[in-house]
Amino acid sequence: MRGEWALKHHFIQLHYGAGEDSPEYEALVFIGFVPADKTYVCHWVDVYGGGYDAPGRGKIDDKLLGIEFRWESKEAALTNKFTFDPQSKTWTSLIRQTEKGEWKTFAEEKWTRK
């Protein structure tokens, strides 16, 4: 994972699979602020193509330590929650999706700064 500002600081770009010679999974994720409604947008572009190309929307929690994005389709719903732990200075990314009407964890990762 590599994160950096992109497009004149309008987005944070997260690069999954960065630094790997031949990653099995690779994605570019762009997170930006939408001033009109004080929300954030998340564009997820990955090796699976444009089937889920709609942006997710989210708001930062009251403590400014987490943000959860949500996507809805006719097949299922998906959330991606990014949470910062100020004590350990780590980020957690939790991706959950519905399967047959139940929420299941798809992936959970912890990140620390190099």
Radius of gyration for the alpha carbons in the chain, expressed in angstroms and rounded: 14
Query: In DSSP terms, which residues pair with 77 in a beta bridge?
Result: 72
Burial class (CB in 10 A: 0-12, 13-18, 19+), 64: exposed
Residue 102, strand partner residues: 99
Tens-digit pLDDT profile for residues 57-82: 999 998 889 999 998 877 788 899 99
Find the angle CA(79)-CA(85)-CA(88) to the nearest 5 degrees.
Answer: 140
43-to-71, 99, 102 alpha-carbon distances in Å: 10, 22, 24
pLDDT score of 42 more than 70: yes
Reported pTM: 0.84
Q: What is the pLDDT of residue 85?
A: 95
